[in-house]
Amino acid sequence: MDQSTKEGSAMVWKKRWNKIVLRVFDSAIPRVNGQLLPVMYPTTPMGFGQPSIQQADLTYRNLDWDDTGRIYITQDQPMRTQILGIFGEAAFDTL
């Protein structure tokens, strides 16, 4: 992730994603940079797993600063994950 600034390249700056939106289809909810969205709903009976999402935009906010601005998407449930798109807002700072 790079952005040109009046000082030159932002490649050496710290980067962070303020918001990442994953568009998923027929999927379990994945982790993004270690962050997991709440997956249990009041309508889900105790002792039963959460059903997969048919199609949704999942929004993750306030992810940590790092040098590269990479996004790590992991799935720790034994269900498939189909990501149709990744959108977001990024921030750069010299920190």
Least confident of 8-12, 67-71, 76-80, 91-95: 8-12
Q: How many domains does the chain have?
A: 1
DSSP string, the chain: ---EETTEE-TTSEEEEEEEEEEEEEEPPPEETTB------TTSPTTSPPPPEEEEEEEEE-PPPBSS----EE--SSS---EEEEEEEEEEE--
Tell whether 38 is covered by a domain. yes
Tell whether 1 is covered by a domain. no
Q: What is the pTM of this model?
A: 0.69
Range of the domain at 74: 11-93
pLDDT of residue 12 exceeding 70: no
**pLDDT band at residue 4 using 50, 70 and 90 as cut-offs:** low
**pLDDT band at residue 52 using 50, 70 and 90 as cut-offs:** low
Tell whether 80 is covered by a domain. yes
